[in-house]
Amino acid sequence: MSDILGYQGKRVIVSGCFSGMGAATAKLLLELGAEVHGLDYKDSTLPLASFNSVDLRDAASIEAGVAAIGGKVDALFNCAGLPQSFPAMDVMKVNFIGLRHLTEQVLPLMGPGGAIANIASTGGLGWSRRVPLNMEFVTTPGFDAAVAWCEAHMDDVKEGYSFSKENVIVWTQYMGAHLIKKGIRINCTLPSPTQTPMMAAFEATSGKDVVEAAAQPMGRYSTPEEQAGGIVLLNSALASIVNGVVFPVDGGFMGGVATGQVDLSVMMRRSAPAQ
């Protein structure tokens, strides 16, 4: 196979490699010839170069996991995440605070040509309405300060999921302008609803009709493999000038919204959380 994506022999890290998009991403990277190092709370069965158990809710666990990998890192894939059925602060720590801390630990191992890709969500599309608040949060100095900020702003954090994904989007764009000066790129994807083990939790907490509305106009959920294609493309050699981008991997959802072909009214309704 031609190495047009440039992953042959590259050292990469995939968080959330146990299941869903993270597992599909790690598998694709292995097929492309990368040296894949996995991080997750649960063990992976993939033939990885290394696997380290990491709890993204714990800064010391993140630091130990990255230290165990060491060496030069060419690309980081932040694929780990929790749905809104978990406690709000756990969701915030895994989906954004831990993601940011992991990235900050990996950055010293990267040089020019390095690339980072984060998984955000269409659930974070409210970011554009409150950038000043998001910027206040994403620029907090370190893991503990970010936790303290959330604990003091629970009215904004709410269930955790939407706010965490908003901040993945804003932080990605913010860091894009900084990291490119070092020759390092950072982007994020906006997946459409995807058939992963978390889907049942999304349907239970948001309502199946709300989730299905976000799957328009394609009319079906995407697969983890389809989502892996998007995130692997972003960190590839082909995307060498793509930076600070919020990349929809959604079967046309964002285009449908922009041109009035997708009705957002059902998505504006928020079902009561499952008891």
2 occurs within a structural domain: no
68 occurs within a structural domain: yes
127 occurs within a structural domain: yes
Residue 259 falls in which region: left (phi positive, over 0), alpha (psi -120 to 50) or beta: alpha
Check pLDDT > 70 for residue 275. no
In this predicted model, which residue has the larger pLDDT, 1 or 197? 197
Helices (H) and strands (E) in the chain, counts: 13, 7
Q: How far apart are CA 82 and CA 185, in angstroms?
A: 25
Q: How far apart are CA 136 and CA 75, in angstroms?
A: 27
Of 110, 234, 256, 214, the closest CA to residue 172 belongs to 234
Q: How far is CA 203 from CA 157, 165, 193, 194, 211, in A?
A: 20, 17, 10, 11, 6
Domain that holds residue 104: 11-268
Radius of gyration of the chain (CA): 18
Q: Where residue 152 sits, what CATH number does that domain have? A: 3.40.50.720
Q: What is the pLDDT of residues 184-241, one digit of tens each?
A: 999 999 998 888 777 776 667 767 887 787 888 898 999 999 999 999 999 999 999 9
What is the chain's mean pLDDT, rounded?
A: 93
Q: How far apart are CA 107 and CA 115, in angstroms?
A: 10
Q: What is the pLDDT of residues 139-182, one digit of tens each?
A: 999 999 999 999 999 999 999 999 999 999 999 999 999 999 99
3 occurs within a structural domain: no
Number of structural domains the chain divides into: 1
Q: What is the pLDDT of residues 154-166, one digit of tens each?
A: 999 999 999 999 9
Give pLDDT, residue 250. 93
Give pLDDT, residue 210. 76
Check pLDDT > 50 for residue 67. yes
Token couple for 34:
């990368």
Q: What is the pLDDT of residues 235-271, one digit of tens each?
A: 999 999 999 999 999 999 999 988 988 877 766 654 4
- How would residue 122 be classed by pLDDT, with cut points 50, 70 and 90? confident
4 occurs within a structural domain: no
- How would residue 103 be classed by pLDDT, with cut points 50, 70 and 90? very high
Q: Percentage of the chain with pLDDT > 90?
A: 80
The amino acid at residue 62 is I
64 occurs within a structural domain: yes
274 occurs within a structural domain: no
In this predicted model, which residue has the larger pLDDT, 99 or 1? 99
273 occurs within a structural domain: no
Strands (DSSP E) along 46-156, which ranges?
50-53, 75-78, 115-119
